[in-house]
Each structure stands twice: as C-alpha cells, then as structure tokens.
Amino acid sequence: MLSFTKRKIAELRSCTSGNVLVLAATGCFVLTGAVGLAVDVSQWYLSKRQLQQAVDSAALAAAHTLSQGGTDTYRTAGMNDLERNDDDMTISVETLSTSPATGGWAGDSGAIEVIATTSKSLPFSGLFMDSAVTIRSRGVATAVSRGENCVISLAETGVGINVLGTADVGAGCGVIANSTDDSAVTLVGTSYLDANPISAVGNISASDTNYPSDTAILPYGVAQTDPIAERGLEVPTDPTTCDYNNERVLPRDSETYTAPPGGAMRFCGGLNVQGSVTFNPGVYIMDAGDFQVSSTATIRGEGVTFVLTGNAAGNVAAVDIAGGADVNLSAPTSAQDADWFGMLFFQDPDLGSSRESNIAGDANLNLEGIVYMPKGDLSFLGSSGQTSDCIYLIAERVTIGGEASIDNNCGLDYEGMNFQNYRIALVE
C-alpha cells in the first residue's frame, strides 16, 4: 500500500498535463485586473477632462465679467457657469477669486483663479477602496493683449465701424467696436480692411474676401476702455470772450494765428478756411461753429490742438476737411504742452455732437495725433496717396472709405495711453 502511494505521488510530480490550466487561470486574473484598471483610468480621465472644461469655462466667464467692470458680480458669473456644467457631476468649489495664490499670474488682481473638485466612484478599484476618488482641477483666465487699436468706436449699440463698399483701407494696427450689435463692425460689398486684429464686443459682419487671410477676427470680445477719458481733459473755460467771430479766410488770403502761451484762442462761430492759414503751437477753440477747410485751402500747424465745443449738442463744432485741401497738422508733444500732448482734435465729451465730422484727403493730407470725438460720429475718407503714419481715430461711430492709410507709428508720448486690444484667454 505504501509503495502504491509513493508511486502515485511520483506520477503526479512528473505530470505536466495541468500546467496550461494553471497558467490560464492566473492569466485570466491578471487580464481581468488590467481590464478593470483600464476602465477605471478611462473614467477617471473623462471625469478629469469634464471638470477641467467646467473650471476653464467658469474662469473665462468670471474674467469676462470682471473686464467689464463687474468687480462685485464676477464670482456670480463664474458660479452660474459652473452650475450649467455640473449635470453629470457634483462640483465643489475651493476657490473662485481674483489674484491667484500661485503660478505666473500670482497676485494679479485682473486674473481669475478657479479651483474645484469632484468625487468619482470607480467600478474596479472601488472594490478595494473605502471612498470615492477625488478629482481636482485648476484654471486661470485673464485679459491678454493682442496688439494695439488705432480705430476705436465707443458706441455700445448699432454699427460702430463701417467700412464702405469700395474702400481699400490699410491700417498698421487694430480696429475695435464696443457695440454689442450683430454688425458692430461692418465691411460692405468689396471693401477691404487690412487691420489686425479686427475686434468687436458684438459680431463682425464681413466675408473672408474683405480682409487678409492672416487677420485675427475677434468677435464677442472685451470692450475697449476709453483711453483718453482717464486723462481728465476738459474744454477750456478761458478765454470767456471771443477772439474771432465767424472767422473766414478767403481763397486769396493768408492768416497766421497765435494762441497765448499756456492759454487758448476762441473762434466763436467757427473758422472757414479757403485760403492759407498757419497755426502756431497752442490750443484753438471752435465754439458753436465748425472748423471748415475747403479744397482750395492750405493749412499748416505744428504742436496744435483744436477743441470743438458749443452750448448744446446741436451746435457743438465739427470738423469738415474737404478732399484736395493741403493740410499738415500735428498735435503737441509733452514738452510743448503737458496737458494736451498727442491731442489734435478734441470734441466736447459732455455735449457730444449731433452732426458727423468729415475728414477727406489725398497725398496732401497729413494728420498726426489723436482725433477724439467720444459722443460724435466721424467719417474718414482717403484717396490715392493719402497716408497718416501717426493717427488714432476715437469716436462714437467711425466710417472709413476710399484708399485710406492709417498707422500708429507714434512717439513715446503715446505709450502711456492704453490703446491695447485685449482678449480674455486661459493662461494657466
């Protein structure tokens, strides 16, 4: 009996017929674990991506609200956006605030940081864990510069920038309309606008033949703050009396005007130039009458500012420069005038104007400085050879036509003014 038993044990030791079954059973266990982990990882990754998208979207919404002055409402905007994205998960917010605590934007009061978590029970690893996995995501959004604008429409409704049907406009800078309208920037017909970027708070009405293929088209963006308002410029009250009344310079006549140092010269009823005029450096006030320049006029002025005002919107002075006029005007530098530097035309920001200003010209039109009409409309029409290497057009609404050429190759005096084009973007 003992020998029989020993013989069977020896047979079992030498038998290999069951090895495959053992290996198969072991392999099945490993394979099941691998499949289970793969399912868990894919579900974890999906939940992580969904949470990150929700956090990023909330950061963008809050940053956009903050950029519009919503210092008290940006958090509500971010939380509302998170609620719209929490259908498939429960999101807990750790942080939704300005001035991120860490990262490249730490301490920046214009940046929004959102940190949120969610819990996810995983089907396989959950068998061995006491609690669900915690997933955490962080996003930071802020306004980032996309270049500089030199044509700015401040109107909040309607068409802000209108490029006429046959216009061919070259701008070495960006254009922006603050209007929320679906056609805030409108490029009509075969018009062509070479500007970068083209931005609007609302939408941009144009086809891809209206601008170069590499142009950044930025609808539904951040409004441009008025870069001049913060300077606190006001219409001069002195002199209180008129230096000239309904002044006119006839075609064969010539005049030189000299404003008093540190003061201004007042033209009541405006100034109509058909002949030749030279303005010495200074401030010239057009009061309740337009600054009219006919096609026969020749005008020179270096270091000059023209203030356009009146006593009601209906008679606030406008600018009317006819095509063909020989015009060369430049704004003062900071060395010439610490208050009015860079300002060529300044229309009363309190009264505005019910009439449109018109600037037309060709190779003989050279303007350098800022044309500022925050509550008035401006039409800028160029023709062959017209160039303005340093000009900013800021008005309630701007119409551009002809073969206009504008750029912002200006000096150091302009760098302190915020003409930057901003776009809300994720930065971390």
Q: What pLDDT is recorded for position 139?
A: 95
Which tokens go with 256?
């030189």
Question: Cα(220)–Cα(180) distance, rounded to whole angstroms?
Answer: 8
**Could you tell me the maximum CA-CA distance found in the chain, to the nearest angstrom?**
144
Each residue's pLDDT tens digit in the chain (428 positions)? Answer: 556 666 666 665 665 555 555 555 555 555 555 555 565 566 667 778 888 999 999 999 999 899 877 888 999 999 999 888 777 778 889 999 999 999 999 999 999 999 999 886 656 555 555 667 788 999 999 988 888 899 999 999 999 999 998 889 988 899 999 999 999 999 989 999 999 999 999 999 999 999 999 999 999 988 999 999 989 999 999 999 999 999 999 999 999 999 999 999 999 999 999 999 999 999 999 999 999 999 999 999 999 999 999 999 899 999 999 999 999 999 999 999 999 999 999 999 999 898 899 999 887 899 999 999 999 999 999 886 777 889 999 999 999 998 888 888 888 888 888 888 888 899 99
Question: Cα(35)–Cα(291) distance, rounded to whole angstroms?
Answer: 81
User: For the residues of 54-117, what is the DSSP string, one character each?
Assistant: HHHHHHHHHHHHHHTT-TTTHHHHHHHHHHHT-TTS--EEEEEEES-SSSTTTT-TT-EEEEEE
Mode of pairing for the β-strands spanning 92-98 and 112-120: antiparallel
Which tokens go with 178?
């603050």
Q: What pLDDT is recorded for position 360?
A: 93
Contacts within 8 Å (CB) and 24+ apart, 89-98? 89/47, 89/50, 89/51, 89/118, 89/120, 90/118, 90/119, 91/51, 91/54, 91/116, 91/117, 91/118, 92/116, 92/117, 92/118, 94/136, 96/58, 96/62, 98/66, 98/74
Residue with token string 């003062």: 332
CA distances from 72 to 75, 79, 115 (A): 7, 13, 19
Spatial CA neighbour of 282 closest among 306, 317, 256: 306
Which tokens go with 415?
């760098």
Which tokens go with 211?
């601008």
Which tokens go with 55?
């956090």
| Burial 103-123, CB ≥16 within 10 A → b, else e | eebeebeebbbbbbbbebebe
Q: Is 190 left (phi over 0), alpha (psi -120 to 50) or beta?
A: alpha
Q: What pLDDT is recorded for position 47?
A: 76
Q: Which helix (H) or strand (E) holds 422?
A: strand 420-426
Question: Cα(413)–Cα(303) distance, rounded to whole angstroms?
Answer: 13
CA distances from 187 to 33, 135, 184, 211, 388 (A): 61, 47, 10, 9, 21
Residue 269: count other Cβ atoms within 10 Å of its Cβ: 18
Question: Cα(231)–Cα(342) distance, rounded to whole angstroms?
Answer: 12
Map 259-275 to HEC letters: CCCCCEEEEEEEEEECC
Q: What pLDDT is recorded for position 118?
A: 86
Contacts within 8 Å (CB) and 24+ apart, 398-401? 398/151, 398/152, 398/153, 398/160, 398/161, 398/162, 399/161, 399/162, 399/163, 399/164, 399/356, 400/151, 400/161, 400/162, 400/163, 400/164, 400/167, 400/169, 400/193, 401/163, 401/164, 401/166, 401/167
Question: Cα(359)–Cα(33) distance, rounded to whole angstroms?
Answer: 77
Question: Cα(240)–Cα(331) distance, rounded to whole angstroms?
Answer: 24
Spatial CA neighbour of 195 closest among 142, 153, 144: 153
Cβ neighbourhood burial of 407 (10 Å; 0-12, 13-18, 19+): middle
Report the predicted TM-score, pTM, of the whole model to 2 decimal places: 0.81
Which tokens go with 42?
């894919």
Q: What pLDDT is recorded for position 370?
A: 97
Q: What pLDDT is recorded for position 121?
A: 66
Cβ neighbourhood burial of 220 (10 Å; 0-12, 13-18, 19+): middle
